[in-house]
Amino acid sequence: MNPPDAAPTGEAAGVAARVRAARVIADVLAGRSTLPEALARHGGADADDGFVRELCFGTARHAFRLDHEVRRHLRQAPRERDLDVHALMLLGGYQLAHMDVPDHAAVHATVAAARSLKKPWASGLVNAVLRKLARADLRADDPELPDDVRLNHPHWWLERLRAHWPDDWQALVAAGNARPPMTLRSHRKRSLALAALAEAGIEAHGGSVTESAIYLARPLPVGSLPGFASGDLSVQDEGAQLAAPLLGASPGERILDACAAPGGKALHIAQMEPAAKVLALDVDPKRCGRIRENVTRAQVTMEVKAGDGRQPESWWDGVPFDRILVDAPCSATGILRRQPDVRLLRNAEDLQVLARLQQDLLEALWPLLRNGGRLLYCTCSVLAEENDDVIGAFLAARGDAEGIGIAADWGSPTLWGRQLLPTVDAHDGFYFALLERRRKSR
Amino acid sequence: MARLEILEFPDPRLRTKAQPVAVVDAAIQQLVDDMLETMYDADGIGLAATQVNVHKRVVVMDLSSAREEPRVLINPEIELLGATVESQEGCLSVPEFYEPVTRHERIRLEALDRDGQPYELEAEGLLAVCIQHECDHLLGKLFVDYLSGLKRQRIRKKLEKRHRQSA
């Protein structure tokens, strides 16, 4: 097929990319879908079109500030059905402030994109607003700005960070606004993997929290990494690489990863102890496909099942597990830099819903653990509502659960577990709590 | 790699129905690579094997602006979803003509990649249109088939004239 616009490369393609990015951002702004879902729907995720991705992720990362700057020049708030035009102005602002695109090219192509939205009024508005934005400094720190705009985090989020982490909240904000590094887990000895990468001309260094993490100096397509196809290297944040060793695994043990997709931690467990019997469960059958891809690639043995952790009767064979990993759905406040759209999609009320879900998962899965068995609870949240509060309530309700202290030189101990806070250059934020099942004492 | 000759409407070979690929072997991968080179050289965003006179169910595409995100669809099967929408289409086998064609706005695709690995994809927008357009080629169908007989004849005459002049 020929490109629909007769001039296929260069300018027209750049216009098409901006239209696509605007549709993706508009879906996220409307709360219709997450960024990866919207990218897939508009034909951008699978293609991994670098420019569209950069526009979308970058605009989401700076969404509050960009929205504020654009709205200064609008007479009325954008209507729901015109969110695509609003999104174009946001990503126009992103190009002006944060990308290497020359200003005149950014304005020109974004206005052309507005023209192709078939809203006759839009191109004039986009042109006028972007020309004003081009004259302003959209990156300058201005203490007059409201906090959510200045820090690109919603108010409810900032409030909680300040309350929970009075000494660290600014570092947490900086980490959330940063571009994430591309992190790998090396299955074999890390020095060998680093040597293989160096030989391939890929700049990388080892992480300091684990023995397995490797940071690439620049993100690269996974296909170009020596050792990815064979499963020697996997993409996984360094904080996430702590889970499998904390859970532990011995030959012959039955191990459940109850919220496994996309399968990074389950794969780590299976690679760490190939003689363990791992069951990777996830509620989303589609995402189970991602787990199977990982299993096939790394050639490990593991059972993958679609099922809801809260309803074991629908998938459990009745034989107890020796170890269970509950990597619970959470606010993702510890991995904002990897999911920048979370700042737009999540709200304070979600925290209660998530805490309920986390509780329900623990309560439903605990009876599946044998006496003396261990359960590792983890989240990528930095908020106590989803971490210590959940574990504290669970321990109080169960007489046969006991918290096991995690001795480590990373992160900091909390009442019931251990918290790793996200950093700009290294790992994401994670919470871990290790529980052991004892005979009922009361 | 080699650049392949693209058949042009009304060449009857474009009406051949493609056969499924039994094994994704080195020969198929070579075909894929040659088709990508041919497509990039012609500034296309999609190319079906039928268009280069190979009657196997193989399609290559690249919708990215930077021309660095090749897609490979071997034995593609699509399910049509959603409402229908009209958009401008052009075709490397019908050079320089663009006409509106009505397609489904969303599709679900199942296909094999260059390594013979199966994958699934839900698409909409240009991606969905392009996949439908290329899958038509594998059935011996062209976008001009959706146009009125009058329009199709006009395009046919102009292309035949051009072919005569360049022959």
The CATH number that applies at residue A253 is 3.40.50.150
Is ipTM over 0.85?
no
| Residue at A1 is within a domain | no
Query: Where does a domain end: A84, A114, A140?
Result: A140
Residue A148 lies in a domain: no
Question: Is the pTM of the predicted complex or chain greater than 0.90?
Answer: no
Rounded-to-integer distance, Cα B53 and Cα B74, Å: 16
pLDDT given for residue A3 in this prediction = 75
A159 falls within a domain: no
Residues of chain A with C-beta less than 8 angstroms from the C-beta of B71: 46-47
Q: Which residues does chain B have within 8 Å of residue A4's beta carbon, measured at their own beta carbons?
A: 87-90, 98, 126, 129
- What does the block give as tokens for A231? 């499963």
pLDDT band with cut points at 50, 70 and 90 for residue B40: confident
Return the pLDDT at B96.
82
- Averaged pLDDT, B74-100: 90
Tell whether A228 and A259 lie within a shared domain. Answer: no
Annotate A217-228 with b (16+ C-beta within 10 A) or e (fewer).
Answer: eeebeeeebebb
Domain count, chain A: 3
Q: What is the mean pLDDT of each run of 10 residues along chain A (442 residues)?
A: 59 81 95 90 62 94 97 91 96 94 89 86 92 92 94 96 96 96 96 94 95 94 88 96 97 97 96 96 93 91 96 96 98 96 95 96 97 97 96 94 93 96 95 92 50
> Does a structural domain hold residue A150?
no
Residues 6 or more apart whose CB falls under 8 angstroms from that of B93 comprise: B6, B7, B8, B9, B11, B14, B51, B137, B142
Task: Among A85, A115, A140, identify where a domain stops.
Answer: A140
Q: Which two tokens stand for residue B8?
A: 């042009």
> Nearest Cβ partner of B126 from A43, A48, A51?
A43
**Residues A89 and A194 occupy one common structural domain:** no
- How many interface pairs between A and B have CB atoms less than 8 angstroms apart? 91
Kindly determine whether residue A1 and residue B46, on different chains, have CB atoms separated by under 8 Å.
yes
For residues A100 and A191, state if they share a domain. no
B115/A contact by beta carbon, under 8 A: no
Say if residue A262 is preceded by a cis peptide, omega within 30 of 0.
yes
Query: CB neighbours (10 Å) of residue B102?
Result: 10
- Whether A400 and A440 have beta carbons less than 8 Å apart is answered as yes
CB contact under 8 A, A289 and B120: yes
A378 and A229, same structural domain? no
Task: Note whether A333 and A418 are same-domain residues.
Answer: yes
CA distances for A138 relative to A87, A114, A375, B22, B33, angstroms: 16, 21, 47, 56, 44
pLDDT at residue A5, as a whole number: 57
**Does A46 contact B at CB distance below 8 Å?**
yes
CB A351: neighbour CB atoms within 10 A?
20
Partner residue facing A4 (CB), from B47, B62, B89: B89
User: Going by DSSP bridges, is the β-strand pair A277-282/A254-257 parallel, antiparallel, or unpaired?
Assistant: parallel
Q: What is the mean pLDDT of the segment spanning B137-160?
A: 93
* pLDDT on residue A45: 44
Residue B43 forms contact with A (CB below 8 Å)? yes
pLDDT for position A440: 66
Do A36 and A125 lie in one domain? The reply is: yes
Q: DSSP character for B83?
A: E
Question: Is the predicted pLDDT of residue B56 greater than 60, yes or no?
Answer: yes
Residue A167: inside a domain? no
A276 plus A226 within the same structural domain? no
Q: Are residues A283 and A308 in the same domain?
A: yes
Q: What is the pLDDT of residue A46?
A: 43
Length of chain B, please?
Answer: 167
Rounded distance between C-alpha atoms, residue A381 and residue A404, angstroms: 20
How far apart, in whole angstroms, are the C-alpha atoms of residue A298 and residue A295?
A: 5
Q: Is residue B99 flagged as an active site residue?
A: no
- Name the domain boundary from A209, A235, A261: A235
**Do A430 and A395 lie in a common domain?**
yes
Residues A378, A426, single domain; the answer is yes
Q: Which domain holds residue A334?
A: 240-437
CATH code for the domain in which residue A88 is found: 1.10.940.10
Taking CB atoms and an 8 Å cutoff, what residues of chain A touch B67? 9
In a domain, A66, yes or no: yes
Asked if A2 and B45 come within 8 Å (Cβ–Cβ), the reply is: yes
Structural domain includes residue A311: yes
Domain check: are A302 and A371 in the same one?
yes
Contacts of A437 (CB under 8 A, 6+ apart): A366, A369, A370, A371, A372, A373, A374, A375, A400, A401, A402
Cβ contacts (< 8 Å) between B123 and chain A: which residues?
Answer: 41, 43
Inter-chain CB proximity B65 and A49 less than 8 Å: yes
Within-domain flag for A208: yes
CATH number at residue A224: 3.30.70.1170
- Do A379 and A340 fall within a single domain? yes
Contact call for A3 and B120, based on CB within 8 A: no
